Amino acid sequence: MTSASPREIFGATLVELGDERADIVVVGGDLNKSTFANLFGHKFPERFFDLGPAEQNMMSLAAGFASSGKTVFASTFAVFATGRPYDQIRTSISQPHLDVKIVATHAGIMTGEDGVSAQGIEDLSLMCALPGFTVVVPSDGPETVQAVRAAASTYGPFYIRLGRPSIPIIHSDNYKFQIGKAEIVQDGKDATIVACGIMVKAAIDAADSLSREGISCRVLNMATIQPADTEAILSAARDTGAIVTAEEHLKHGGLNSVVSQIASEMHPVPIESVSLNGYAESGKPEELLKKYGLTETNITNSVRKVISRKS
Amino acid sequence: MTNSVQTSFPDQSLSTDELKSRAIDIRKDIVTMIAQGGSGHPGGSLSAVEILSSLYFKVMNHDPQNPKWDLRDKFILSKAHACPVLYVHLAHCGYFPSAELATFRKIDSRLQGHAHIKTPGVEMSGGSLGQGLSFGLGSALSARLDKKESRVYVLLGDGECDEGQIWEAAMAATHYNVDNLVAIVDRNGIQNDTWTKDVMNLEPLADKWRAFGWNTVEIDGHDFTAILSSLEEAKKVKGKPSAIIASTFKGKGISFMENNPDFHGKAPNQEQLQQALSELDNLK
């Protein structure tokens, strides 16, 4: 299995979009080499604005461009793309529903050694709190290309969450990403694992290992957290009677909250969460995933547990 | 590129005397709509009347019949709590009927408590201070990118200049050498809690803008001749943005509101409204 870096793919896709459309503008905050937005800047310097680490100005300025008819990509690290300019996103972008695409890289704990200040683990909670924002967490390179392109061609504010490392490619060339639609990666009958981002691969591996024990799991890649695919969650609850959510994010306010809310309203079933319960620390990304429980093993344990809770 | 479409504004035929007379009617509408709404911000609305009248009637290219006209100049009300002064000007220009002013802050109204783009002619949703200069800079850069002659005017409160984002935008505007952007500071000396000098000293305010590289002038913000002249001069400045520090009186034109911190965000009661209208009528 080969890997790809979603942020590099984001940068390359931006350049393609810049070639295709003259109304695309990109703004960044002194992290453009890391987000790969600088690729766009090299090719289209007149449409690229590095505003320095001044994210509040960056977001309101993006809104000004958008209100003038531009489709704007605003890119920086997840912690600086959400918490720091949250009020600007809320007032300048979300409330007037402007065409700004926030693409955050270095989300989650896989930023590793930089420590807790750089680990964006609250961003989905913040962004899902904004009405009208589409929130997407691609699970690999091919899905990243399609998510970025879908955002560019769909009016309205988007938040696309990317990580730092290269991650395994799990989608074939035939895969078709659709905004607001969860992908059934594989079907099963005993429980459903609903995952997003890097945890989709862990979910697939967990389902494989459980199948050897005779436990059959459906795996849903819920790339769009908001608006959520209500039908897919309802079907999972009805068909399999138990759900495990898996995300590289705090338990509160992200994928687990979204899935639990839908299930509790429409078809309550036991739900377990594989997620973070608090801040992590500095360390190698793989060490952090293991210490803080974002593992295939933790998913398989959670599936066994959730099945045991079925009435 | 030149503006080939005939627009309703600016209205070159308006004399300064007519502007002064109209300013009295505008102040009456402002206090009336805030009294009807039962809440709102009269002080910082009344201080900015001459600034908005100059822009909307005499300076900006805009077309009330076509609020989204591609080549329009834009006015951004960063101090969005002062939206009554904006709504009254938009109504007087014909963006919506003046009768609608009576719906301010009421359910189902297009005239929200802080400026929102659902109102025809309002360019930016605001209400959280400090964001308008950045928004205006994005609009100005977009116009430059599209080779349009559109100019962008941003009205800032003086207390609003406490917000750090104002200075992020001020730095970026000169970095990008925009000259189609004008920041006007409504320097009325009063913010929500009390006098600006007591909350957070802003001085030397003009020197701060100059230090950020802006072409900066200080004027009497109630003097139409001074305002119009500073706006015309700003058009001639190339390669950098212009800041106009407009010295004003909060609550201007009404004795018990003028220079009174209590009327930053308080509506007049019926008795106060009648007194205000009577005082304004006596100015005619």
Contacts of B196 (CB under 8 A, 6+ apart): B158, B159, B189, B190, B202
Cis previous bond, B84, omega within 30:
no
CA distance B168 to B174: 11
**B154 shares contact with chain A (CB less than 8 Å):** no
Domains with residue ranges and CATH for chain B: 16-282 (3.40.50.970)
Residue B17 CB-density burial (10 A; 0-12 exposed, 13-18 middle, 19+ buried):
exposed
To the query of whether residue A8 is one of the catalytic residues in this protein, the response is no
CA distance B275 to A157: 47
pLDDT, average across residues A77-99: 98
Could you give the angle at the alpha carbon of B73 between the alpha carbons of B68 and B74, nearest 5°?
75
Domains with residue ranges and CATH for chain A: 3-168 (3.40.50.970), 183-308 (3.40.50.920)
The catalytic residue among A55, A122, A143, A247 is A55
CA distance A185 to B145: 44
CA distance A37 to A27: 8
Evaluate whether B141 touches B178 at the Cβ level (below 8 Å).
yes
Nearest-CA distance A311 → chain B (Å)? 48
Q: What is the pLDDT of residue B6?
A: 41
Q: What is the pLDDT of residue B5?
A: 42
Whether the complex's predicted ipTM is more than 0.90 is answered with yes
How far from the centroid of its chain's Cα atoms is residue A246's Cα?
A: 12
- Kindly determine whether residue B172 and residue A91, on different chains, have CB atoms separated by under 8 Å: no
**Percent of residues, chain A, with pLDDT higher than 70:** 100
Q: What is the pLDDT of residue B4?
A: 42
CA distance A108 to A195: 14
Contacts of A208 (CB under 8 A, 6+ apart): none
Strand A191-195 to A48-50 pairing = unpaired
Q: How confident is the model at residue A197 (pLDDT cuts 50, 70, 90)?
A: very high
Q: What is the pLDDT of residue A311?
A: 81
pLDDT, average across residues A20-47: 98
CB proximity under 8 Å: B 161-190 to A: 164-165, 168-169, 171-172, 176
**Which residues does chain B have with pLDDT short of 50?**
1-6
Helix or strand (DSSP H, E) at B271: helix B270-282
Interface test with A, best of B75, B119, B134 (most A CBs within 10 A): B134
Nearest CA in chain A to B134: A61
Q: What is the pLDDT of residue B284?
A: 86
Nearest-CA distance A201 → chain B (Å)? 40
Token code pair at residue A179: 């905004």
Nearest CA in chain B to A49: B176
Interface test with A, best of B116, B142, B149 (most A CBs within 10 A): B142
pLDDT digits 0-9 by tens, A291-311:
999 999 999 999 999 999 998
CA distance B39 to B49: 19
CA distance A135 to A129: 10
